[in-house]
């Protein structure tokens, strides 16, 4: 059996889709499961053991006839038996229908004409569970598994070596991720917590746990935020993992992850690090599971800057 999952979106969306892939592999252990993702998200599958091949297609680009014909050929060559798609564009359903894939599963919407099986779209729940609902089209009604991933051994060794180089003691470290994103800024999504308020949190952490290192997680778009944080507190440490495996290993080694709504937040949930995440306009209920390892703090106004440092610190020290 060959299965194709079409998963548009960023790395966070891919991580949230991992439980669906895991359950597919459990139900069909001999199946070859491929995913088709945007170019920016291909790296997520470094830590996903359930996928055979990662195909790339830019869902958001203004694709013309030539691009769709090329995609049609790529899919047809692999002779899939089943296709699942998170996307709601009717063109995707048409593409799968033209390929003659017997089972074409998508959400029940006004654009779901070309699917052979549809499932209700319930957006008022945790996103991983919403994605997992697609398996109902295959008559799979298991509860959604927890987020899970596998970190390559060499990435764990890299993280351990970096911690030693930074002089981090066995007492552990607190990881802070500011969540800067050009895409979020372009869309007007407020995800960046003010540096001054981070500094209030850092001062309290240091007063109570002076031996615990505080490390800034620097992604490709976090340079300005890291500079501002370092100018205010020069003795902070920084770490810049070059891929998602090293990022996951770095997060797994932390005693606590403080972050905003972001892909590293989902990784932190997946590796089981205690996570406190700050949310502005995005929804805690839809983006964090309900368990003892993660806490979401929702802004009362929708503006992330309106979350008081005291609220964050209450969650840090509540144990």
The average confidence (pLDDT) of the chain is 92
Look at residue 187 and tell me whether its pLDDT is greater than 70.
no
pLDDT of residue 17: 98
User: 14-18, 67-71, 74-78, 212-216 — which is least confidently predicted?
Assistant: 67-71
The answer to whether residue 21 scores a pLDDT higher than 90 is yes
Cβ-contact 309, 204 below 8 angstroms = yes
Nearest to 286 by CA among 9, 16, 8: 16
Q: Which CATH superfamily includes the segment(s) 153-316?
A: Glycogen Phosphorylase B; (3.40.50.2000)
Average pLDDT of span 111-119:
92
The ranges assigned to domains in the chain are 2-138, 153-316
Asked if pLDDT for residue 220 goes beyond 80, the answer is yes
Count the residues in the chain: 319
Q: Please determine whether the domains at 2-138 and 153-316 fall in the same fold group of CATH.
A: yes
> What is the rounded radius of gyration, in angstroms, for the C-alpha atoms of the chain?
21
So what's the pLDDT on residue 183? 56
* DSSP label at residue 138: G
- Which pLDDT score is estimated for 67? 76
Confidence of residue 318 (pLDDT cuts 50, 70, 90): confident
Helix (H, G, I), strand (E, B) or coil at 215: strand
For the record, the structure tokens of 164 come out as 């030693």
Per mean pLDDT, which range of 22-36, 41-55, 80-94 is the poorest?
A: 80-94
Q: Is there a contact between 20 and 127 (Cβ–Cβ < 8 Å)? A: no
Class at the top of the CATH hierarchy for domain 2-138 = alpha beta
Asked if residue 188 has pLDDT above 90, the reply is no
Q: What percent of the chain has pLDDT over 90?
A: 77
Each residue's pLDDT tens digit, 53-67? 999 988 776 666 777
Question: pLDDT at position 180, please?
Answer: 67
Task: Judge whether 75 and 4 are in contact, CB under 8 Å.
Answer: yes
Overall average pLDDT of the 250-273 stretch = 96
Q: Which pLDDT belongs to residue 90?
A: 82
| pLDDT greater than 60 at residue 184 | no
Binned at pLDDT 50, 70 and 90, residue 111 comes out as confident
Q: Which residue has the higher pLDDT, 141 or 77?
A: 141
Among 52-56, 88-92, 208-212, 278-282, the minimum mean pLDDT is found in 88-92
Sign of CA dihedral 270, 275, 276, 278: negative
Render pLDDT for 147-179 as a digit per residue (tens, 0 to 9).
999 999 999 999 999 999 999 988 789 999 987
Structure tokens at 106: 């998508």
- Residue 203, pLDDT > 80, answer yes
Q: What percent of the chain has pLDDT over 70?
A: 95
Average pLDDT over residues 121-127: 96
* Better-scored residue on pLDDT, 223 or 33: 33
Element (H, E) at 252: helix 244-252
Query: In this predicted structure, what is the pLDDT of residue 228?
Result: 94
- With cut-offs at 50, 70 and 90, classify the pLDDT of residue 68: confident
pTM of the complete model beyond 0.75:
yes
What distances in angstroms separate CA 258 from CA 192, 264, 278, 312, 316, one per listed residue?
Answer: 12, 10, 8, 9, 9
């Amino acid at each position: 059996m060959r299965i194709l999952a079409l998963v548009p979106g960023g790395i966070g969306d891919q991580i949230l889709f991992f439980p669906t892939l895991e359950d597919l592999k459990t139900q069909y252990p001999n199946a070859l499961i491929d995913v088709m993702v945007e170019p920016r998200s291909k790296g997520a599958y470094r830590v996903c053991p359930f996928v055979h091949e990662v195909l790339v297609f830019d869902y958001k680009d203004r694709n013309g006839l030539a691009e769709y014909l090329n995609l049609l050929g790529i899919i047809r060559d692999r002779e899939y038996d089943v296709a699942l798609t998170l996307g709601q564009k009717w063109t995707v359903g048409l593409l799968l229908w033209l390929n003659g894939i017997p089972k074409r599963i998508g959400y029940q919407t006004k654009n779901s004409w070309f699917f052979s099986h549809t499932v209700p779209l319930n957006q008022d729940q945790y996103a991983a569970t919403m994605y997992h609902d697609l398996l109902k089209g295959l008559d799979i009604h298991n509860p959604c598994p927890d987020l899970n991933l596998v970190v390559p051994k060499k990435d764990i060794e890299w993280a351990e070596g970096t911690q030693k180089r930074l002089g981090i003691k066995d007492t552990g470290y607190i990881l802070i991720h500011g969540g800067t994103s050009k895409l979020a800024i372009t869309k007007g999504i407020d995800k960046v917590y003010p540096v001054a308020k981070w500094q209030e949190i850092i001062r309290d952490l240091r007063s109570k746990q002076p031996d615990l290192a505080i490390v800034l997680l620097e992604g490709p778009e976090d340079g300005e935020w890291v500079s501002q944080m370092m100018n205010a507190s020069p003795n902070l440490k920084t770490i810049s993992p070059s891929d998602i495996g090293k990022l996951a290993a770095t997060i797994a080694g932390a005693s606590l992850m403080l972050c905003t709504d972001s892909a590293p937040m989902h990784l932190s949930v997946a590796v089981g690090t205690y996570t406190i995440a700050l949310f502005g306009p995005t929804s805690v209920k839809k983006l964090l599971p309900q368990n003892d390892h993660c806490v979401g703090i929702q802004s009362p106004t929708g503006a992330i800057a309106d979350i008081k440092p005291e609220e964050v610190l209450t969650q840090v020290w509540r144990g």
